[in-house]
């Protein structure tokens, strides 16, 4: 019984994927327009894209830009967020600036940044960096703010310096919250990656997607949607595994159900 | 915190913004950047004020706001509804949870070409994209808010004779409101971003369209104006939501 239940919960996302594809298939068959191919046709076009050397290079270039920008954003944002959380002066200094820039669509800066830096990698990475850093800063800030004062006092009493307290107490205590921010940032990085390549049509996954839309190659459009979607789901699942390992101590081992009966 | 401390905090917060504007002004007035790349801030804000009075610009704002609100409302209704249902019923939860796990990390912008092909270039495709993007943060925070409701509250309500079907609306929903509003706030920011992007990709009206047309003709001043406008819109809507929050949560301690 337990094994069966485990198996079902493991397979549930897969079943959901299959269910969604089935709904797509049924919808496409009932509508049967040229611009909406069935799920099977789209899936059939996937290996053709991945097998094509040029598109594969494009997709890998996108991923490289995204991972570099994501890592740089983490290196800058986490320390800044933690400092903001522990120091009122730093928080007051940066908070209004972040509040103003939060609702600005980062990918919309792309045309302006392109004017300055050209259409190359640096412009795209800068946009992804901006998109990722805000949620990570925000969550690190919230996480560091919620650290219990007593633990810091104990650390200070035991002779830890301010920098040591930051690394040995604040960072681990804020880690669950930081990783929540990183997860949001990861999804945002992917979104910004696609949009930046769509605006600066030069290379990358977003470029293939929107070029095929313009040229009316509908099966490639949908196949690219599947590939980008699978990238998102795969990266998120990998990150979630990593997160669970890192913060296993902070979560209850079982889920507490809510009962109305 | 006394009044004086608050005012120094505000002053401290203005410093980086003022610095940013000063550096911007410095770069353009000392000639490090030509006018075509970085127009001075004064010119941009003058242009903003001038544009705000024109008919076309107002129409663009109205088109953008309409799409934003339509998409956001759909997301709130669906998100709160599905979130509550998933928290209340294990059967719904078993269905919704895996679907959400698959769809939430999917970059929705990638779906936009499909929406364009299915729904056309008008309002519908953009509204659906905004709703799809804003839905998941609202749904997830509703679900977590509703499943964190203290069991004691539900038992007390049942002991006091509340019928079971009313518990959801009389106990669980009000208790989950703080969490729901947090989700709405995230959803609102995302809506602002997404509506702008959708309009940039394909549109004949709206703020995003204005940015794209300015970019195509290399009018740097006109490129900054829609960006500043959407940022101001986001801040205003955020402040309105904050006001709604402090009104709705006026009995609650410190939130």
Residue B3 confidence (pLDDT): 61
Same domain for B18 and B83, yes or no, is: no
Q: Which residues of B touch A258 (CB under 8 A)?
A: 87-88, 146-147, 149, 151, 154
Domain with B173 in it: what CATH number?
1.10.3720.10
B60 in a structural domain: yes
Same domain for B73 and B110, yes or no, is: yes
In 3D space, the residue among B157, B178, B177 whose CA is nearest the CA of residue B167 turns out to be B157
Same domain for B54 and B1, yes or no, is: no
Same domain for B69 and B111, yes or no, is: yes
Query: Is B114 at the interface with chain A, CB within 8 A?
Result: yes
Residue B56's contacts (CB-CB under 8 Å, 6 or more residues apart) are: none
Same domain for B3 and B47, yes or no, is: no
Q: Which residues of B touch A35 (CB under 8 A)?
A: 117-118
Residue A1 confidence (pLDDT): 56
Cβ atoms of B198 and B112 within 8 Å: the answer is: yes
Q: Which residues of B touch A257 (CB under 8 A)?
A: 90, 147
Going from N- to C-terminal start, the domains of chain A cover 37-249
- Looking at the predicted structure, is the pLDDT value of residue A119 above 80? no
Task: Give percent of chain A with pLDDT exceeding 70.
Answer: 93
Shortest CA gap B112–chain A (Å): 9
- In this structure, what token pair is assigned to residue A117? 């830096």
The residues in A 124-183 lying below 8 A from B, measured between CB atoms, are none
Instruction: Encode pLDDT of A148-162 as tens digits.
Output: 888 888 888 988 888
Average pLDDT rounded to a whole number, residues B63-88: 92
B63 in a structural domain: yes
Query: Is B13 at the interface with chain A, CB within 8 A?
Result: yes
Find where tokens 């930046």 sit. Answer: A196
Residue B131 confidence (pLDDT): 94
Long-range CB pairs of B204-208 (<8 Å, 24+ gap) are B204/B121, B205/B59, B205/B60, B205/B63, B206/B60, B206/B63, B206/B64, B206/B67, B207/B60, B207/B61, B207/B64, B208/A108, B208/B64
Residue B5 confidence (pLDDT): 64
Same domain for B24 and B49, yes or no, is: no
Same domain for B55 and B27, yes or no, is: no
User: Nearest by CB to A13, which of B98, B164, B218?
Assistant: B98
Residue A258 confidence (pLDDT): 44
B232 in a structural domain: yes
Residue A2 confidence (pLDDT): 62
Residue B128 confidence (pLDDT): 93
Q: Which domain, by its residues, includes B25?
A: 1-33
Residue B79 confidence (pLDDT): 94
B65 in a structural domain: yes
Domain count, chain B: 2
Find where tokens 């570099």 sit. Answer: A68
Residue B254 confidence (pLDDT): 52
- Cα of A116 vs its chain's centroid, Å: 27
Residue B253 confidence (pLDDT): 60
Same domain for B140 and B27, yes or no, is: no
Same domain for B83 and B122, yes or no, is: yes
CA dihedral sign, ordered A49, A50, A54, A60? positive
Structure-model confidence comparison of residues A112 and B73, the more confident one: B73
Cβ atoms of A166 and A155 within 8 Å: the answer is: no
- Looking at the predicted structure, is the pLDDT value of residue A240 above 80? yes
Residue A252 confidence (pLDDT): 55
The CATH number given to A37-249 is: 1.10.3720.10
B255 in a structural domain: no
Average pLDDT rounded to a whole number, residues B185-191: 86
**φ, ψ dihedrals at B172, nearest 5°:** -70, -45
Cβ atoms of A13 and B92 within 8 Å: the answer is: no
- Looking at the predicted structure, is the pLDDT value of residue B88 above 80? yes
The residues in B 63-92 lying below 8 A from A, measured between CB atoms, are 87-88, 90
Residue A78 confidence (pLDDT): 93
User: What size, in residues, is chain B?
Assistant: 255
CB spacing of A257 vs B211 below 8 angstroms: no
User: Nearest by CB to B107, which of A111, A221, A228?
Assistant: A228
**Alpha-carbon radius of gyration of chain A:** 22
Task: Give percent of chain B with pLDDT exceeding 70.
Answer: 95
Residue B255 confidence (pLDDT): 47
Buried b (16+ CB within 10 A) or exposed e, A84-97: bbbeeebbbbbbbb
Average pLDDT score over chain B? 84
Q: Which residues of B touch A13 (CB under 8 A)?
A: 98, 101-102
B254 in a structural domain: no
């Amino acid at each position: 019984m337990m094994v069966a239940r485990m198996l079902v919960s493991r397979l549930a996302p897969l079943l959901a994927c299959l269910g969604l594809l089935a709904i797509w298939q049924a919808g496409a068959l009932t509508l049967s327009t040229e611009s909406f191919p069935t799920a099977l046709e789209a899936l059939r076009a996937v290996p053709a894209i991945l097998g094509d050397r040029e598109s594969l290079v494009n997709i890998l270039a996108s991923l490289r830009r995204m991972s570099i920008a994501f890592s740089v954003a983490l290196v800058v944002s986490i320390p800044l967020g933690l400092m903001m959380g522990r120091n009122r002066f730093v928080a007051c200094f940066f908070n209004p600036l972040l509040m103003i820039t939060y609702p600005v669509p980062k990918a919309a800066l792309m045309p302006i940044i392109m004017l300055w830096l050209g259409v190359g990698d640096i412009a795209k990475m800068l946009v992804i960096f901006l998109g990722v850093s805000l949620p990570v800063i925000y969550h690190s800030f919230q996480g560091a703010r919620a650290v219990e004062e007593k633990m810091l006092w104990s650390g200070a009493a035991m002779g830890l310096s301010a920098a040591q307290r930051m690394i040995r107490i604040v960072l681990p205590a804020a880690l669950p919250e930081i990783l929540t921010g990183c997860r949001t940032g990861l999804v945002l990085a992917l979104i910004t990656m696609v949009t930046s390549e769509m605006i600066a049509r030069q290379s990358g996954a977003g470029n293939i997607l929107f070029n095929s839309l313009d040229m009316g190659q509908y099966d490639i459009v949908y196949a690219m949607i599947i590939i980008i979607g699978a990238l998102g789901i795969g990266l998120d699942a990998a990150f979630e595994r990593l997160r669970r390992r890192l913060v296993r101590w902070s979560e209850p081992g079982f889920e507490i159900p809510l009962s109305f009966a | 915190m006394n009044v004086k401390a608050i005012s120094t905090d505000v002053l401290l917060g203005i410093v980086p913004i003022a610095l940013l504007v000063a550096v911007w002004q410095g770069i353009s007035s000392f000639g490090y950047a030509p006018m075509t790349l970085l127009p001075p801030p004064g010119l941009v804000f003058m242009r903003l004020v001038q544009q705000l009075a024109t008919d076309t610009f107002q129409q663009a704002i109205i088109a953008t706001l309409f799409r934003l609100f339509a998409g956001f409302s759909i997301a709130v209704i669906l998100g709160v509804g599905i979130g509550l249902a998933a928290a209340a019923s294990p059967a719904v939860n078993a269905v919704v949870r895996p679907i959400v796990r698959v769809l939430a990390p999917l970059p929705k912008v990638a779906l936009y070409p499909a929406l364009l092909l299915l729904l056309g270039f008008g309002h519908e495709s953009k509204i659906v994209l905004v709703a799809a993007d804003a839905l998941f943060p609202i749904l997830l925070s509703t679900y977590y808010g509703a499943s964190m409701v203290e069991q004691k509250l539900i038992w007390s309500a049942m002991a006091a004779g509340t019928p079971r079907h009313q518990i959801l609306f009389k106990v669980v929903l009000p208790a989950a409101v703080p969490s729901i509003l947090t989700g709405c706030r995230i959803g609102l920011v995302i809506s602002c971003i997404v509506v702008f992007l959708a309009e940039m990709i394909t549109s004949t009206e709206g703020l995003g369209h204005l940015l794209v047309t300015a970019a195509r003709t290399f009018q740097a001043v006109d490129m900054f104006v829609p960006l500043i406008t959407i940022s101001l819109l986001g801040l205003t809507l955020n402040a309105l939501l904050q006001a709604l929050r402090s009104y709705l949560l006026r009995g609650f301690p410190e939130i």
